[in-house]
Structure 1
Amino acid sequence: MLKSATMTVPAKLVELYLDLRASAEEHVRGFTEPSSEMLLPDLHPQEHHVFTLVLDLNETLLYSDWKRDRGWRTFKRPGVEAFLEHLAQFYEIVVYSDQQAMYVDPIVDRLDEKHCIRYRLSRAATRYQDGKHYRDLSKLNRDPSRVLYVSGNALESCLQKENCVPIKPWKCEAEDTALLNLIPFLEYVARHRPADIRPVLASYQGRDIAKEFIERSKEHQKKMQEQKQQGRLWRR
């Protein structure tokens, strides 16, 4: 009986320890992991061809700052309404922020009065890692070959670098046109639907995508014009 008691007590302690450890790990996971394995609902069957445009909020679509005399103020990036309205024709638009939902929702309500943004993801949907909140596109419930992430801090805020579309961070420069400059590239992608956007973005690595796209378009038009001219010469 004494032997049985000595064997039973440690076993119960071990079981209690394992339960407490599992509970603690689950609690920590709630702060470090995205709130769901599928952050977005399934796409409608008729929209399986549609690309998903994920947009960061701060320093991409707007800028927030605090001053002692007036507190917090939020400013819209130049062209943001036109950018959203135009691209909503082609993309499923998602805002993904590392701020709390209580801050994100009222800001997006004012920013997107025409309801161009389909979904909003806030801090609970991020992955907390190395002291930072990262956007984890693998949890979106979307084909990663059809996801683009536009951000002023893209490479520093997203775990999937291959899906990033870096843009100049905005800090209230009045003459900024970065969002509008990006529209031709994003519209081209949506219209032509490459089989996988990731190698396309890799071809622009280290370059300003908006400027490089215009240069490539001009070069393509030049080659097409030359081929057309050569065809005319042969017909003569």
Structure 2
Amino acid sequence: MSIITQSKRISSKVLNLKSNKNIHLYSSVTTNPPKESIISSSSSILSDQSTSSSTPPETAAAATTGGGGKGQPWSFLKFSLIAAVTGGVATAGYATYAYSLEEVYEKTKALRTMKKVSIGDDLSSFQKFQTMLKSTAITVPAKLVELYLEMRESTEEHVRGFTEPLSDKLLPDLHPQEQHVFTLVLDLNETLLYSDWKRERGWRTFKRPGVDEFLEQLAQFYEIIIYSDQQSMYVDPVVDRLDGNHCIRYRLSRAATRYQDGKHYRDLSKLNRDPSRILYVSGNAVESCLQQENCVPVKPWKCESDDTALVDLIPFLEYIARNRPGDIRHVLASYNGNDIAKEFIERSKEYQRRMQEQKQPGRLWRR
């Protein structure tokens, strides 16, 4: 009995010890969980996710750094090229605005002559390399300047075809026997005729009163030229019908004008005639001619039936042709601001009155 009782006691103590150890272990797990097992498990989870989903942080950082290093030189080169092109375009634009082609030729002459740098054979490798760099630094700007000059010269020549008269000598030389003859340049619209358009009938051209008498009378004394800013396809058929007696020698149309400030001007300096012997008659003389000192303004005609401007001007023009002043520009300057036809009549009357006054004392003296 004692043996059995002792064994039971021993077994009960063992059970109590095991139960106490389990309780202690359970409380330690719940209150202070082991950190090493959690950290190892979480790091394994993170490592699994990063491996399966994307590149590790170290690899991504290295890739980012490597990409930025390769992109920086290309970005610098790109912006340098943009800055160089922008500066070149700005410089070319300023030079075009501020200087003529001849001035740019003169200012860049030194640069264009320095573009060739010879490399001597007696130089060292380093000196040859320096000379080659210097030659490249000079050659590139010089070539660009030459390219700019060629492009500008070509462009200006193309523009001159639209803005300049088609020739420096619009008329052939005068015959030697006609060197004393004055040249009478006539505008067409609102001077010799008037063109009107209406919807029900379209374009119609009306001839100014007295134009036939004007042309026939003055063709005896002058070389008569038509100088219009209209196209030749309009000028030629109109003049053919206007000048049935062939009083007009030459016809000049828009191609012979100078385009300036949005308008087509008559340039009398291109007529191949002595400027001291040219008269330009127009209803818009001052507004349409570059040589205002040669202008003979008349009233613009717009189909007034009682107009006599051309007929009234005949006496003045006949007087000029017969007396042949040394420079017609001085004569026209004396009429500046006045109606030439009316002022000439007044001066003629005044001249006759003075002549009569000079003759009257002589008669009294003879008596």
TM-score scaled by structure 2?
0.62
How large is the Cα RMSD of the aligned pairs?
1.5
Distance 1:53 1:7 in 2: 58
Structure 2 counterpart of 1:173, from 304, 325, 329? 304
1:212 match = 343
1:99 and 2:230 are equivalent in the alignment: yes
User: Unaligned 5+ residue runs, structure 1?
Assistant: none
Indicate the structure with greater strand content: 1
Please report how far the alpha carbon of residue 235 of structure 1 lies from its aligned counterpart in structure 2 after TM superposition. 1.1
Residue 227 (str. 1) matches residue 355 (str. 2):
no
Structure 1 residues 3 and 200 mapped into 2: Cα distance closer, same or farther (>3 Å)?
closer
> % of aligned pairs identical?
83
Partner Cα separation in structure 2 for residue 137 and residue 124 of structure 1: 14
Alignment of 1:1-236 (within 5 A): 11-236=142-367
Between stretches 1-10 and 47-56, larger displacement belongs to 1-10
Task: Give the partner amino acid of 1:201.
Answer: L
Give distance in 2, aligned partners of 1:2 and 1:211. 78
In structure 2, C-alpha distance between the alignment counterparts of 1:46 and 1:202, rounded to whole Å = 29
Q: Which runs of 5 or more structure 2 residues have no equivalent in the other structure?
A: 1-131
1:4 CA displacement: 6.2
Give the aligned length: 236
Deviations 1:169-209 (A, max 9, x none): 00000110100000000000000000111111111111111
Distance apart, 1:94 and its partner CA: 0.4
Cα offset, 1:37, TM superposition: 0.8
Higher-Rg structure is 2
Q: Alpha-carbon deviation of 1:20?
A: 2.0
Q: Distance in 1 between matches of 2:193 and 2:257?
A: 20
Higher helix content, 1 or 2: 2
> Which of the pair has the greater relative contact order for Cα pairs under 8 Å at 6+ separation?
1
- What is the alpha-carbon distance in structure 1 between the residues aligned to residue 354 and residue 142 of structure 2? 78
How far apart, CA to CA, are the structure 2 residues paired with 1:223 and 1:109?
Answer: 46
> Hey, what's the Cα distance between the residues in 2 that align with 1:88 and 1:129?
32
TM-fit CA distance, 1:16: 3.3
Q: Give 1:119 shift.
A: 0.7
Letter in 2 for 1:141: N
Of 58-67 and 13-22, the range deviating more from structure 2: 13-22
Amino acid at match of 2:278: V
TM-score by length of structure 1 reads: 0.95
2-structure distance, mates of 1:73, 1:118: 25
